[in-house]
Chain A
């Protein structure tokens, strides 16, 4: 319990830092939100007089020092007010809505895929060390590490387009894009999910296969495995009863850096595949210098990462008694 509280406090601290960073990024481009807004109004033919500017300034707190602006931004966010997007001229919270959920679903899928693949292939490679399959997967892992996600996405899209004549972009079939949630839409989502998930998960899985392989190899050479084998325990049972379970721990504990990597890679894959997630929205916001939206989205992605890491840390702690002991003692 103390450990949970400690982790929670730590996460809160990181969140504060993240929000500050996002805010600084919002402030980075020359000119502020308001000058852009005014320019936009003028461009669309509306006249803006001085008193209106003053009132707008007061409304957004731009006449106050920077730390006060930051305070206003953060407190607004806590109340669910993320500011307005210039580009869409809608509240940011409206834009995010469904995208956030889909982002979470996609990343969750990618995490599961990454670990499943990594553990399965890692186990295979370790039990058949230096076999043809082992070399094949090692090579595949190297290539998986070297191919940038967006390139992989592009190649897959072209491949599907050319061979099956189907488009793999998006998360829904055209019929379901605007439709409200229903069972059919959910099934449709499940059909579209695998490709982005595979693309996102490959790079992470490639690295983890090696971790799993090494850790299982260490475990398999230990005495208790030899003992069990001499006692005539079946190979399958021998493998899965203890060594795999022990070897999985170092793999799972990598989640701290796998998750940021996944979300980071997922953002660009989503842009290429044009998925209705946060990544493409962030991209468009950045291109049009819609900094309020961009800052909020960046913050959201970071929060997602931090919360994900926090949850997985707790799960890890629950899974591996050794971590529990260590943290409890310290």
Chain B
């Protein structure tokens, strides 16, 4: 009752109390969630990341496949406000590179060339691209004028801009979590629903299958299944195959939640009443049982998404999941498989930071939702 205490005004207090009593279940959950700081942080982070992923073309600085053959494994350029002569510029800028070959290893060496200053422009128009592959567009959030170049996160082994690639990769990595969870959701609801509602032999069978799937190590299973995906499949088909793979294990947890809740609610009076009134099974499940455990389901869903994202990242990292030219965080990280590369060019691990932040945000949000969905807290 902590939120009543602050208002001394009796009338205001009453209306607050009224609002509390008339609030729907969702409004109450939202209120509790609002007070969970970490969950809100997670929510904001996720909203930001998804927003950027949706408009990735606009936020990135150049085409993901564009190669800068002169700048292979360029380090990230430092965004500066103060130049070499200690003059302050309101507009941030980067210095260009002076490249040379190492006399022994023949590696490209990069040095900042302070005579080349590229001011960063906002809302510039660059080369034409197709927004979502459909709408021709020129707008970019950031950019430098030709012949300048802007590699905020450096470049990869083919001289492609990591910043643009990471942002675009977010689209695949994040959506695979959502699509995978949607699939698991359907499987989990249907199988868990059947299992919990009907019980008996079919329940035992489904429970055994779940126990079996949960008792075997997930990643090796995924690896083996992913390796069986034919190499000549088009990217979209591979994407679907990987999502299906991830949901093969993903639905188990959800099905358990659904089943557990159904079993505890099945014996309630209102279900009996509905059944006596002649409501068909499907209607009882949808209309009377589903609202009762939807909040728990959402919690499980939120916590299932990061597992999917991590799964895809691990598979693609190993080269068994998605394959180039598709860009996902895992695909980008696959460059990092060779430790020597990581030691020399540590920025290839940057996509990993995005994975960690995303997963962290999902966990925060899921945790907050769990607390909010629990009516006894």
Residues of A within 8 A of B (CB): 14, 17-18, 21-22, 25, 28-30, 142-143, 145-148, 150-151, 154-155, 157-158, 161-162, 167, 169, 256-257, 260-261, 263-265, 267-268, 271-272, 279, 282-283, 286-287, 289, 294-295, 297-298, 301-302, 305-306, 309
B193 CB–A CB distance under 8 Å: no
Kindly identify which residue among B225, B313, B360 contacts A25, using a CB–CB cutoff of 8 Å: B225
Inter-chain CA distance A271–B349, complex, in Å, is 17
Question: Looking across the interface, which residue of chain B has its beta carbon closest to that of A290?
Answer: B227
Residues B224 and A260 in contact, CB atoms below 8 Å apart: no
| Chain A residues near B317 (CB-CB < 8 A) | 150, 268
A141 to B314 CA separation, bound complex (whole angstroms):
20
Out of B306, B319, B339, name the residue touching A146 (CB < 8 Å): B306
B218 in the interface, Cβ–Cβ < 8 Å? yes
Inter-chain CA distance A109–B117, complex, in Å, is: 54
Answer yes or no: B343 CB below 8 A from chain A CBs: yes
In the docked arrangement, what's the CA distance between A208 and B223, Å?
26
Q: Are B212 and A286 closer than 8 Å at their CB atoms? A: no
CB distance from B303 to the nearest CB of A (A): 10
B364 at the interface (CB under 8 A from A): yes
5 smallest CB-CB distances across A and B, nearest first, come from A264-B217, A286-B227, A28-B228, A264-B219, A146-B359
Find out whether the CB atom of A298 lies under 8 angstroms from the CB atom of B220.
Answer: yes
**Total residues of chain B contacting the partner, CB 8 A:** 40
Residue B56, interface by CB 8 Å: no
Q: Are B220 and A14 in contact (CB under 8 A)?
A: no
B320, CB-defined interface residue at 8 Å: yes
20 chain-A/chain-B pairs, Cβ below 8 angstroms: A18-B212, A25-B224, A25-B225, A25-B228, A143-B356, A148-B352, A148-B356, A154-B342, A157-B342, A169-B339, A257-B214, A260-B216, A268-B219, A268-B317, A268-B318, A279-B220, A286-B227, A298-B220, A298-B224, A302-B216
Q: Which residue of B lies closest to A265 (CB)?
A: B219
Docked pose: A155 CA to B336 CA in angstroms: 10
Would you call B215 an interface residue if the criterion is a C-beta within 8 Å of the partner chain's C-beta atoms?
Answer: yes
Tell me whether B216 and A305 are in contact (CB under 8 A): yes
> Which of A17, A146, A297 has the most B CB atoms < 10 Å from its CB?
A146
Docked Cα-Cα span, A265 to B218, in Å, equals 9
Q: Which chain B positions have C-beta within 8 A of A162?
A: 343
Task: Please report the C-alpha to C-alpha distance between residue A17 and residue B342 in the assembled complex, in whole angstroms.
Answer: 41
Asked if B215 and A143 make an inter-chain contact with CB atoms under 8 angstroms apart, the answer reads no
Query: Which of B215, B310, B360 makes the CB contact (< 8 A) with A142?
Result: B360
Q: Given that A17-B212, A146-B306 are known contacts, is A154 also in contact with B336, CB under 8 Å in the complex? A: yes
Query: B221, B223, B230, B359 — which one has the most chain A CB atoms within 10 A of its CB?
Result: B223
The answer to whether B364 touches A142 (Cβ under 8 A) is yes
How far is A298 from B218 in the complex, measured between Cα atoms in Å?
10
B residues lining the A interface (CB < 8 Å): 211-212, 214-221, 223-225, 227-228, 230, 306, 310, 313-314, 317-320, 333, 336-337, 339, 342-343, 346, 349, 352, 355-357, 359-360, 363-364
Task: Determine whether the beta carbon of A158 is less than 8 Å from that of B346.
Answer: yes
CB distance from B347 to the nearest CB of A (A): 12
Contact indicator A161/B343 (Cβ below 8 Å):
yes
Instruction: Please give, as numbers and ranges, the residues of chain A lying within 8 Å of B349 by CB-CB distance.
Output: 151, 154-155, 158
Chain A hits for B310, CB < 8 A? 148
Q: Is there an interface contact between A260 and B215, defined as CB atoms closer than 8 Å?
A: yes
A-chain residues with CB within 8 Å of residue B336 when the two chains form the complex: 154
Residues of B within 8 A of A29 (CB): 227-228, 230
Give the distance in Å from the alpha carbon of A306 to the alpha carbon of B48 in the complex: 42
Considering the chains assembled together, what is the distance between the CA atoms of A147 and B353 in angstroms?
9
B230 and A158: CB pair below 8 A? no
Check if A264 sits within 8 Å of B220, measured CB to CB. yes
Flag if B339 contacts A283 (CB, 8 Å). no
Q: A150 to B356, Cβ gap below 8 A?
A: no
| Contact present for B343 and A294 (CB under 8 Å) | no
| Bound-state Cα–Cα, A264 to B215, Å | 11
Contact across chains for A302 and B320 when beta carbons are under 8 A apart: no
Known: A30-B230, A150-B314. Contact between A286 and B224, CB under 8 A? yes
Q: Which residues of B contact A271 (CB under 8 A)?
A: 318
| CB of B51, distance to nearest CB on chain A (Å) | 21
Task: Let me know if A306 and B339 touch, CB within 8 A.
Answer: no
Q: How far is the CB of A210 from chain B (nearest CB, A)?
A: 10
Q: Is the CB of B320 within 8 A of A286?
A: yes
Complex contact A289–B227 (CB within 8 A): yes
